[in-house]
Amino acid sequence: AADGGALFAERSTFTLRGCELTHNSATNGAAAVLYNSAKSTTGRSTMALSRVAANSGSMSVTAFARLTWECFPGQYAPDGVGEFADNFTGCPFECAAGFVGNTAHETLPTCSAPCPRGNYCPKGSSAGWPCPKGTSFAGRGAADPSLCSPCAPGSYANETGLARCTPCSAGTYTEREYSTGCEGCPAGGYCRAAGAASLALTFMPCRPGTFNEKQGASSADACTACPAGTYGSLAGQKSMTSCESCTPGSFTSQEGRDTCTRCPAATYQNDTGASSCKQCKAGSFCARGSSLELPAACGPGTYANASDVSGVPACFDCEPGHSCAGGAALPTACTPGSHAAARKSLTCELCPAATYQNDTGASWCRLCSAGSFCPHGSSLELPAACDPGTYANAL
């Protein structure tokens, strides 16, 4: 054609919608559309969602009159006159990188708006492309996926299109970039800080005497105390099996102990896992940390009592009124009719004739009253039986 390969318009308006203008040529003017403003009189023409391709000429579309475009999303065309080259569908220009075009009548390279936060927008975008999981972008107008920043250690992005990565909550951590989630704090301790980027710097082991079986703990409250009668000597334990029973001769009366306490002198414990110690019987030997009662070895006239701070029984002199056979035997109170006047008595002596003793544990004998009869070893006074004309005296 001479003046317009496919369409030449003057003194008129036109609307092209959904047309294909291909393989046209013109020797004088545009190969596809020549819109001659000088000879046009009224109205405005429209190019709507049409394809222009493979045309021969210096330009495919030339508009000397005001031309309105309807574009596909992500495109724009200047509102007015101009010349436009070949090969486009819809509108001749794509929205600039970093921007989106979401209407049909965009007239500037910046189109509708900058690319939204958490997204990137290549050239010709009708909507943002979300940053991948494990990345984020806080600003607007990103043109390239390389601008989506990796989540730093201690943070994560488990969704696409996030403006900011989320810090790991207390009880979790991540040491990697590009994380899509955080790992739970290991069993045996807790992780107190949020946003933890290093397990070594945030992990706090449960103290000795406690343990934690679960992951994801954020405070020492998650550490369970070993029961009374047991102890835990190591920090960072993961189960109750780490709590060891107290051995014989020791105990713990409280929970959460890191050692057992040796039984004090004068006490003992022959069981494992004890929460208290047993009192050593009088006459037995119980040193500090004893697991059994040992017999004392005291000389005749003395007796033992486990009262010394070392647990070794002191041998005490037998008190008057008692006899002490020695060894581990306890003092024996003298029976009625006998006495022990001195300390350290091995045996009690019978009261001599003309005396008696009706009490237990006596250190002396009572004189028999006149008119009574008290033979050797008497425990009471007996009445005398005298013939008429005679009288009795305590013999």
Give residue 95's domain range.
64-148
Taking only the tens place, the pLDDT of each residue in 296-309 is 778 889 887 654 44
Q: Which residues contact 169 (CB under 8 A, 6 or more apart)?
A: 182, 194, 218
pLDDT reported for residue 7: 85
d(C-alpha 336, C-alpha 356), whole Å: 8
Q: How many domains does the chain have?
A: 1
Strands 33-36 and 61-70: parallel
Widest pairwise Cα distance in the chain:
190
Q: 319 in a domain, yes or no?
A: no
Three-class SS state of 341? coil
Q: 172 in a domain, yes or no?
A: no
Q: 332 in a domain, yes or no?
A: no
For residue 33, what are its two tokens?
């559309």
Taking only the tens place, the pLDDT of each residue in 339-387 is 999 999 999 999 999 999 999 999 999 999 988 889 999 999 988 777 6
pLDDT reported for residue 219: 96
Q: 116 in a domain, yes or no?
A: yes
Taking only the tens place, the pLDDT of each residue in 124-148 is 999 999 999 999 999 999 999 999 9
pLDDT reported for residue 395: 46
Taking only the tens place, the pLDDT of each residue in 215-262 is 999 999 999 999 999 999 999 999 999 999 999 999 999 999 999 999
Given the structure tokens 């079986």, which residue do they identify? 213
Q: 206 in a domain, yes or no?
A: no
Strand partners, 47: 16, 69
Three-class SS state of 220? helix
Taking only the tens place, the pLDDT of each residue in 71-107 is 999 999 987 778 888 888 899 999 999 999 999 999 9
d(C-alpha 110, C-alpha 94), whole Å: 10
Q: Cα–chain-centroid distance for residue 273?
A: 28
Taking only the tens place, the pLDDT of each residue in 251-283 is 999 999 999 999 998 889 999 999 999 998 876
When pLDDT is cut at 50, 70 and 90, the band that residue 310 belongs to is low
Strands 355-356 and 366-367: antiparallel
Strands 50-53 and 20-22: parallel
pLDDT reported for residue 239: 96
d(C-alpha 262, C-alpha 110), whole Å: 83
Q: Cα–chain-centroid distance for residue 142?
A: 39
The half-sphere exposure of 201 on its side-chain side, counting CA atoms within 13 A, is: 11
Q: Smallest Cα–Cα separation from 242: which of 261, 222, 257?
A: 257
pLDDT reported for residue 37: 64
pLDDT reported for residue 157: 98
Kindly tell me the number of DSSP H helices and DSSP E strands found in the chain: 1, 43
d(C-alpha 10, C-alpha 84), whole Å: 18
Given the structure tokens 């005749």, which residue do they identify? 300
Q: 199 in a domain, yes or no?
A: no
Cβ burial, residue 362 (10 Å; 0-12/13-18/19+): buried
Question: Residues 122, 111: contact at Cβ < 8 Å?
Answer: no
Q: 119 in a domain, yes or no?
A: yes
Q: 89 in a domain, yes or no?
A: yes
Conformation bin of residue 273: beta by default, left when phi > 0, alpha when psi is -120 to 50: left
